[in-house]
Structure 1
Amino acid sequence: MYQGVRCREYTAMTDTVANRKRVAKLLERVEAEIRVGVFDYAKTFPNSRNAQRFAQPDAVVSQESGPEASADQPTMREFSDTWFAENAPLWKSSYQTKVTDILSKHVVPQFGDRKVGDIQKSEILQYRAELAKVNRDTGKALSASRINQILNVTKQILEEAADRFDFNTPFQGIKPMRIGRSQVDPFSLEEVQRFLDAAPPEWRGYFLVRFFTGMRTSEIDGLKWDCVDFDRREILVQSARVQGEETTTKTDGSTRTIQMSDVVYRALMEEREAMRQRPETHRSRYVFSTRYGYPIAYRNVNNRVWYPTLKKAGLKRRNPYQTRHTAATLWLAAGESPEWIARQMGHSNTKMLFTVYSRYVPNLTRQDGSAIDQLLRMRLQGGTVDSSREVEHEG
């Protein structure tokens, strides 16, 4: 920053550790000269286009917003269209939809007709406060997470505009709203059994796999048969279905291999056999599909199966994501290794595991996934998980 202006200068040096150190030393010298008032821009950066702007040592370059400063700048509406078009090819279609929704419902209605350089920090803070208020029509307020998403899109647009049109972004010093920890309300093993007993027979396998693998909704809805290895007893998670479209997993770390427990293995074997019994035109490449072979829609499953089954089983209302939390807490209760659990969940390390599930962590000693099989055999004999056919077969 020099005379209230953010300046960027580039070198022709190769990006190496040594050269970064040289540039860092230069930056320290420049900042020191600015502090004591002896910095000469043209002398330090003689070939810079900024040198002419600071030709007079005592001149102050104004960055105040106004008609002259912003005359050649686009409006927020115009620049947001440019920004979206340039970045959309880098995003998943689901994220494109999310950003489009934020722009159309929030950013453009609020700032669309303003020049990008005219928007002030005070306006951003005021807008954040407005977003946090209870909506009179709905009686609800936006969550802190949603507000952060809206402001983050606004921030990205204005920071890019500030870089291109040489003004200070109004987001300097604005921190995101604090988001509380995710609500973890897993099922106990007895509750899992009650849910599976109450679930429609054609959906028991689906929910059993969810409860005992920790797969996200998008992951299990996008699971295809070629990613189920019965010989190795592994599930390869490498794709997902989001808003009716096939896409990649949430993060690179989410691509992983999940080991099947005995109950998951048997459930998937039954699903495969049930799929083979369908007419050929109703078979699907997806492990779980409608009776006609179409990919399932999670909203329909939630509203027509998940919540009614909770009610039928006499269980309190929870969102379906709790199946993922349930898998993690059951593995912890069984004494599985945190590193093993993190790999099954698709976490890059155990930090999130201990942060989110700290109160469910016992003395952990196991490391191979066998402890959960032992726990399930002890607790679920004769129930939904161990079908009567399997019990009879075992004598």
Structure 2
Amino acid sequence: MPNIRVRPDTGKLFLDFRHGGKRYREQTSMEDTKENRKKLERLAARIQRDMQLGTFDPGAYFPKAGFSTRSAIASATSAPPSTTATFTAAAIPPTPLFADFAQQWQAENAVQWRRSYQRTVADIVSVHLLPHFGQQEVGSISREQILIFRSSLAKAPGRKKETLSPRRINAVMNILRGILFEASDRYQFTCPFYNIKPLKVAKSDVQPFTLDEVKALLAAVREDYRDYYTVRIFTGLRTGEIDGLKWKYVDFSRRLILIRETLVAGEEDETKTIESNRDVQMSQVVLEALQRQFARTGTLKNWVFCNRQGQPLDHNNVTKRVWYPLLRYLGSTPRRPYQTRHTAATLWLAAGENPEWIARQMGHTSTEMLFKVYSRYVPNLTRRDGSAFERLLITAMARVDVTQNLPAAAHGAQYD
């Protein structure tokens, strides 16, 4: 639908839309008022209807010599005959093909992205964007096409033959948005990616293990993976952080784990964020687990947790062969290995640790995540759910005679 905009130099309203490979900026002499906007909205609705029917004729709406509201605006808005407007149409300047500009955009921005994100962007562009927009001029893409594309994503197959999730669709749309915004700024056209809000994404399911579940899990897990999961559960390290941990980042003397690298898709990479670059303190349980692990792999002087060939663990392989069979054996609810990170946060909170310290251990920028996501599990672990205050009131009020200050006649009296 045509957009109603305001010229910054004159304050006059104009219509901005595309049709037949041309961009139209139809200028008017109308002031930016609520009434005038409503008039142009009705005119824009008529134009949109004619476009959809294939009967739109720019000359009928916008004669080169100008027109009065008795022709276009008057018929659509019932504006007074004295209001006039003049219009001019401008063709869209040539712009590169979407495929060419997308490749250029990736090359220009790759320097600021982690390697794993570079792969993510390249995958989104090649799998989703190029088949749909690749051979189209980047400046000719319309908002309607973008919305149609988003609808098609909702029907596209994802993992395990399921459709793409709202989170994945938003990720694809964010890349498209970045490309179009850069192109519109560079080639001076109005970006069609406006008023397109991201899809609502359901909150991630946080299912931390209780301390009893942790004890059962560590007692039942394979001996060669017991220390791996001990460190993982009681430090809150991300999957890529523990899989990419090297012995040079384990400081036994200061009881610190230095998070400086991560492992993503089998490749070494930088940490997820600046805050992720942190020092994690070892508890006694973690210290002892790492000392036992050092006896196994310390002589290799590289990866802390590795396979028999000295190579880092394959996360997918460990998850399928060790993690899920372990949960099935225990009769536990199937949960992603990432829940070990949530478990560390809830156990720290339950123990009464300083939230700021916990945030630093987790690599969070602030304590907001703790209170927003994890704190709801604390009452179940510590009974800090109002029961302590209830006991305080019962104890205190039991020592108070609530009738001692009342007049004698009021004792036992009925109130109206």
Question: Scaled by the length of structure 1, what TM-score is found?
Answer: 0.73
Match of 2:221 in 1: 199
Amino acid of the structure 2 residue aligned with 1:208: T
Match of 1:109 in 2: 131
3-state SS in 2 of match to 1:195? helix
Q: Structure 1 residues 239, 62: CA separation in 2 closer, same or farther (over 3 Å shift)? A: farther
Question: Scaled by the length of structure 2, what TM-score is found?
Answer: 0.70
Which one of the candidate residues 292, 313, 331 is aligned to 1:270?
292
Match of 2:95 in 1: 73
How far 1:62 sits from its partner (Å)?
3.9
Which one of the candidate residues 192, 195, 202 is aligned to 1:173?
195
Q: Structure 1 residues 100, 134: CA separation in 2 closer, same or farther (over 3 Å shift)? A: closer
**Deviations 1:152-178, CA, capped at 9 Å, x for gaps:** 111111111111111111111111111
Whether contact under 8 Å (2:356, 2:367) holds in the other structure is: yes
Distance (Å, rounded) in 2 between the aligned partners of 1:31 and 1:363: 62
Match of 1:350 in 2: 367
After TM superposition, the structure 1 = structure 2 runs for residues 141-290 of structure 1, keeping only pairs within 5 Å, are: 141-276=163-298, 283-290=300-307
Whether contact under 8 Å (1:198, 1:309) holds in the other structure is: yes
Q: Is 1:122–2:144 an aligned residue pair?
A: yes
Gaps of 5+ in 2: 14-27, 32-84, 383-416
Match of 1:85 in 2: 107
Which one of the candidate residues 353, 358, 361 is aligned to 1:336?
353
How far 1:34 sits from its partner (Å)?
4.6
Residue-pair matches, total: 314
Distance (Å, rounded) in 2 between the aligned partners of 1:141 and 1:232: 48
Distance (Å, rounded) in 1 between the aligned partners of 2:312 and 2:199: 37
How far 1:6 sits from its partner (Å)?
10
Distance (Å, rounded) in 1 between the aligned partners of 2:309 and 2:6: 60
**Deviations 1:142-201, CA, capped at 9 Å, x for gaps:** 111100110011111111111111111111111111112111011111111222122111
How far 1:38 sits from its partner (Å)?
10
3-state SS in 2 of match to 1:252? coil
3-state SS in 1 of match to 2:275? helix
Whether contact under 8 Å (1:336, 1:364) holds in the other structure is: no
Q: Is 1:308–2:325 an aligned residue pair?
A: yes
Amino acid of the structure 1 residue aligned with 2:184: A
Amino acid of the structure 1 residue aligned with 2:279: T
What is the RMSD computed on CA atoms of the aligned residues? 2.8
Distance (Å, rounded) in 1 between the aligned partners of 2:133 and 2:125: 10
Choose between structure 1 and 2 for higher RCO, CA contacts under 8 A separated by at least 6 residues. 1
Distance (Å, rounded) in 2 between the aligned partners of 1:222 and 1:285: 10
How far 1:107 sits from its partner (Å)?
0.3
Distance (Å, rounded) in 2 between the aligned partners of 1:284 and 1:137: 37
**Deviations 1:271-311, CA, capped at 9 Å, x for gaps:** 112225xxx6xx24111111221111111111111111111
Distance (Å, rounded) in 1 between the aligned partners of 2:279 and 2:256: 6
Amino acid of the structure 2 residue aligned with 1:75: L
Distance (Å, rounded) in 1 between the aligned partners of 2:156 and 2:309: 43
Distance (Å, rounded) in 1 between the aligned partners of 2:325 and 2:117: 30
Whether contact under 8 Å (2:297, 2:303) holds in the other structure is: no
Identity of aligned residues (%): 48
How far 1:126 sits from its partner (Å)?
1.7
Q: Structure 1 residues 32, 338: CA separation in 2 closer, same or farther (over 3 Å shift)? A: farther
How far 1:361 sits from its partner (Å)?
3.5
Distance (Å, rounded) in 2 between the aligned partners of 1:335 and 1:182: 25
Distance (Å, rounded) in 1 between the aligned partners of 2:89 and 2:296: 73
Gaps of 5+ in 1: 8-29, 40-57, 366-395
User: Higher strand share goes to which structure?
Assistant: 2
Which one of the candidate residues 290, 295, 299 is aligned to 2:312?
295
Distance (Å, rounded) in 2 between the aligned partners of 1:220 and 1:320: 12
Match of 2:76 in 1: none
* Greater C-alpha Rg: 2
Q: Structure 1 residues 245, 138: CA separation in 2 closer, same or farther (over 3 Å shift)? A: closer
Shifted more, 86-95 versus 153-162: the winner is 86-95
3-state SS in 1 of match to 2:201? coil
Match of 2:74 in 1: none
Distance (Å, rounded) in 1 between the aligned partners of 2:159 and 2:269: 35
